[in-house]
Amino acid sequence: MGLHSGNAHVGDPKLVFRAQPRQRQQYIGDLDLAADDPDLEEREERPGLIAVKPTFMIELPGEKSQGITTKPREDWHIDPYFWIDGAKYEVTGKVGSGSFGTVFQAVELEDYVRNTRKPNFTPVAVKRSSPAKQELLEAAVLEAEILKKLEAVPGENFVPRYVRHGTIPPPDEKKVAEVVLAMTKLPGKPLDFWMYGIDEQALKTVSIPKMLDGDLPGACRSRRLEHAADMVIEILRTMCPIFSALRKFAFHRDISAHNFLIDDVQDNTAKFAVLDFGLAVRADKWRREWGARNIAGDPRYFAPSAWMQLTCGHKYVACHPSSCWVKQYAHRLDHYSFGMLMLEMLFALWKGPEADEEDWASSDELSDQVVAWRSSFLATRSAWRSYWKTCVRLFQTFHTGGAHALRDEFLAKNQITKQLAIDDHCENLVATVKEISAPCTDVPEGELYKKVSFVLQTAADLICPTSKTRWQEIYWRLLHLTGDASNLHNRRKQKISTEPTSSFVAVAQIAAEVEDSDGEEAQPAVQSMSSDSSFGSDDLFVTKVGSNYSDEADKVSRLPVLRNALKSGHRRIWTETGLRVPDKDMLKAAE
């Protein structure tokens, strides 16, 4: 039997299943080719074919997702075909592997459900996760759901697009099902590999000074400060809409340089994509149940609250005299990790003052303001390096000595203050944040200073435990920095008959205020914001009106504004406390 008849052999039962689902078992038996099948030999000899375990998943149209696998086969390692939700794939390579499974490259041969018999040779990435427990299984399924939902975020290749997914039931009750997820395969290399020239495994043991000083061969520490800042701004610009959309229903929990791809690198720009939502959690559940959930992610990007929980347990975090730590853990995990990544990128890509020789050497002609800014910036760099060094050391200790080693370290008492080392780590973060935002107070004129200060301020806002800055606000600030805010403003002015009374910066502040309460308590304002917010869309009526939404007098004061909004075709208004969807009574009164 040749390869082609082999395909047909696997595919035919599928057609019969549609008509005769009860005969399923018989056909499953048929799928399990005999060990001496000559087809296997042929496949083995095909160049470029890698060894994979086959996943025969047959999900019958119209039935609940319930994959059916063949019995384990002795020759499992050489069959490249598998099914997901009615489509047949052939594995053509391996993309990578992680803690929970392998990502293959595959092409779709046929789609029986949609009746497409033509192969689609655009390779897809297929992630096969073999979770060890129920919680991880839920995360693997959630990953598929998240990719589906993020399809609504405009833009290309920022995140893999969902193709299809399915589950393979476990062979026995003690085991957990597997999840197979097909998504678009994105171009590029992992950001950590691009920055340091070594892979994630090597980073677990690499010399920290070498890593920080860029002595690693292949490391990318070659950029001038402005170009390094441009790169950070680009990743932020790409990711803000994604994280803003994501935070409404999930947290990624594994933001790290390893989980971003970088492609099409130019001097000061590149394309970025975020991957691997395999550790994600539902936002509402997480906010309620964080104490009962596992601690996950890359330890370098762990907020101090995660270390606190790992060391002393969730009650310690919950009862800590500073409530900011619990809030950061329950609401702003991704904010923190992304802020860390921004700083990591800035200082890993910048070669140091020598890269900016032209600008930095001629200090004679520099104004006092510029001199002060530069010295403050160099102090920021030292503070960051010291904090980041600790994070990398913790990460390496975690991988070599395990959680016990870290627990011992963090439980040690500080000789002077007698507080636990974990609390020192928290204080260290607060001090670092201060240093990072220092150069942002008196910013000299010029693109370089503007951009770098923007990066520092944004990162500080993201990692600061008391910060409430939201993705939306950051995005507005970014548009303002790049001049896109005024373009948007002008476009809207043309479209909105009543001129907005507040600038977009003010709107950003308003948005931040609304988002402040996001998730902490389910407040009506936030809910309406979540379901309705579509920043960047042109249907907002921007205005500043009274702040007390529930107050009758305030409602009355907003009536004229609402009338204008309705006249110009807008049914939502921005108020000082955020985006409002007027209730029926108000609409009636205004109409």
**Interacting residues with ligand ATP (CB under 6 A):** 95-101, 103, 125, 127, 160, 183, 185-186, 190, 254, 258, 275-276, 278
Q: Which is nearer to ligand ATP, 55 or 437 (CB)?
A: 55
Tokens of 412: 């040690």
Q: What's the min distance (Å) between Cβ of 46 and ligand ATP?
A: 23
Nearer to ligand ATP, 277 or 475 (CB): 277
Place of tokens 């990578």: 96
CB of 265 to ligand ATP, least distance (A): 16
Report the residue number, 200 or 532, with the smaller CB distance to ligand ATP: 200
Q: Is 127 annotated as a binding residue?
A: yes
Around 386, how many Cα atoms within 13 Å sit in the side-chain half-sphere?
Answer: 14
- Measured from the Cβ of residue 100, the count of other Cβ atoms closer than 10 Å reads 21
Q: Closest by alpha carbon to 460, among 486, 431, 437?
A: 437
In whole angstroms, what is the distance from residue 42 CA to residue 171 CA? Answer: 29
DSSP codes joined into one string, 79-142: --EEEETTEEEEEEEEEEEETTEEEEEEEEEEETTTTB-S-EEEEEEEEEE--SSHHHHHHHHH
- Nearest-angstrom CA–CA distance, 23 and 58: 13
Q: 10 Å Cβ neighbour count for 489?
A: 17
How far is CA 55 from each of CA 4, 16, 71, 297, 429, rounded to the nearest angstrom?
19, 20, 10, 28, 47
Q: Which is nearer to ligand ATP, 95 or 421 (CB)?
A: 95
Of 190 and 439, nearer to ligand ATP (C-beta) is 190
Give the number of other CB atoms < 10 A from CB of residue 315: 10
Closest to ligand ATP by CB, 88 vs 253, is 253
Q: How far apart are CA 313 and CA 307, in angstroms?
A: 9
Q: Which of 323, 75, 329, 347 lies closest to 195, judged by CA?
A: 347
Q: Return the residue nearest ligand ATP (CB atom).
A: 98
CB of 270 to ligand ATP, least distance (A): 16
Helical residues (DSSP H) of 290-367, grouped into ranges: 304-312, 314-318, 324-331, 333-349, 357-361
Task: Please state the closest distance from residue 340 (CB atom) to ligand ATP, in A.
Answer: 17
How far apart (Å, rounded) are the C-alpha atoms in residues 139 and 141?
5
- For the bound state, the minimum distance from the C-beta of residue 179 to ligand ATP, rounded and expressed in Å, comes to 11
Q: Cβ closer to ligand ATP: 55 or 575?
A: 55
C-beta of 100: minimal distance to ligand ATP in Å? 4
Smallest separation, CB 64 to ligand ATP (Å)? 26
Query: Would you say 95 or 202 has its CB closer to ligand ATP?
Result: 95
At 261 the three-state DSSP class reads strand
CB of 189 within 8 A of CB of 262?
Answer: yes
Return the number of the residue (182 or 540) whose C-beta is nearest ligand ATP: 182
Give the separation between CA 337 and CA 578, rounded to whole angstroms: 27
Provide, rounded to whole angstroms, the least separation between the CB of residue 161 and ligand ATP.
9
What is the closest distance, in whole angstroms, from the C-beta atom of residue 277 to ligand ATP in the complex?
A: 8
Whichever of 241 and 278 has its CB closer to ligand ATP, that residue is 278
Read off the tokens for 334.
């991704």
How far is Cα 105 from Cα 315, in angstroms, rounded to an integer?
44
Give yes or no for a contact between 104 and 126, defined as CB atoms under 8 angstroms apart: yes
Helix (DSSP H) and strand (DSSP E) numbers for the chain:
23, 13
CB closer to ligand ATP, 219 vs 275: 275
* N- to C-terminal Cα separation, the chain: 75
Give which of 338, 316, 564 is closest to 459, Cα–Cα. Answer: 338
Task: Estimate the share of the chain in helix, then strand, then coil, as percent rounded to the nearest 5.
Answer: 50, 15, 35
Q: How near is the Cβ of 427 to ligand ATP at its closest, in Å?
A: 31
Structure tokens at 445: 């004129």
Q: How far is the CB of 122 from ligand ATP (least distance, A)?
A: 12
Binding-site residue set for ATP: 127
Question: Which residue ranges make up the annotated binding site?
Answer: 127
